[in-house]
Amino acid sequence: MSRTALLVLADGRFPAGGHAHSGGMEAAVASGRVHDIASLEAFCRGRLHTTGLVAAGLAAAAAHGYDALALDEAADTRTPAPALRRIARRLGRQLMRAARATWPSTDLDHLAHHRPHGAHQPVVLGVTARAARLTPLDAAQAAAYESVGGPATAAVRLLSLDPFDATAVLARLADELDTVADSATAAAVRTATEGVAALPAASAPLLDITGEQHAAWTVRLFAS
């Protein structure tokens, strides 16, 4: 196992397209729900324990070797908003391109063949982690961090927040991020006997609603 591979996969400069997405932050800023560091922290904490937990579970299960196609279907059922399903698959397709060039594997080829228009990004992330010889916990940590790192970076751009303060938010969430990753990994282990029902299915209805609204905007800075 290479710890450097985890750094590469979690690096925001990895060419997987995440920089173009705000994870719901643009809509939250437009509505006034996020307007300063305190509200940014509240948003990130809520996202971590809902969509972040779900993504971490899917990624850990894929890294554990569970059927990626079944996980992709499970991701669909856990993503009720059509706009967010499209975004998840678009991000998955972009990650797949980068992953196959970086860590070629038959597992990635198999998923790309059966999901030519893109699998859900957390599933691709988990299969990528497996190809890079990372652990399910590594995959869960990468997914959980991504769920808050992207919105925090977007908030800096949207609100001209001090990037040091935004980074401090992520640091304060570190223990909770570890807890989420541990919980997601434990659930992923149970998929061997319980199937995908063992995975988290936390919901974030407001993110679903604003995700649909954001997709209809004619002018926006971020794709989601």
- Flag whether 141 is in a domain: yes
- The CATH number of the domain holding residue 170 is 1.10.4190
The count of structural domains within the chain is 1
CA–CA separation, 140 and 56 (whole Å): 4
CA–CA separation, 124 and 89 (whole Å): 9
Q: Which residues of the chain have pLDDT under 70?
A: 1-2
Nearest to 91 by CA among 159, 167, 14, 145: 14
**pLDDT digits 0-9 by tens, 211-222:** 999 999 998 889
Angstrom distances, CA of residue 29 to CA of 81, 83, 147, 164, 217: 20, 19, 17, 19, 14
Residues 59, 10 contacting (CB under 8 angstroms) = no
pLDDT for res 1: 56
154: tokens are 């977007």
- State which residues form the domain around 71: 33-215
pLDDT for res 185: 98
- Flag whether 6 is in a domain: no
- Flag whether 151 is in a domain: yes
DSSP designation for 66: -
The amino acid that residue 114 corresponds to is H
Q: Residue by residue, what is the 3-state secondary structure of 111-154? A: HHHHCCCCCCHHHHHHHHHHHCCCCHHHHHHHHHHHHHHHHHHH
- Flag whether 189 is in a domain: yes
CA–CA separation, 186 and 56 (whole Å): 11
Burial 48-74 (b: 16+ CB within 10 A, else e): bbbbbbbbbbbbbbbbbebebeebbeb
SS3 label, residue 20: helix
Predicted TM-score of the model (pTM): 0.95
- Flag whether 112 is in a domain: yes
192: tokens are 């061997």
pLDDT for res 87: 95
- Flag whether 5 is in a domain: no
**pLDDT digits 0-9 by tens, 111-141:** 999 999 999 999 999 999 999 999 999 999 9
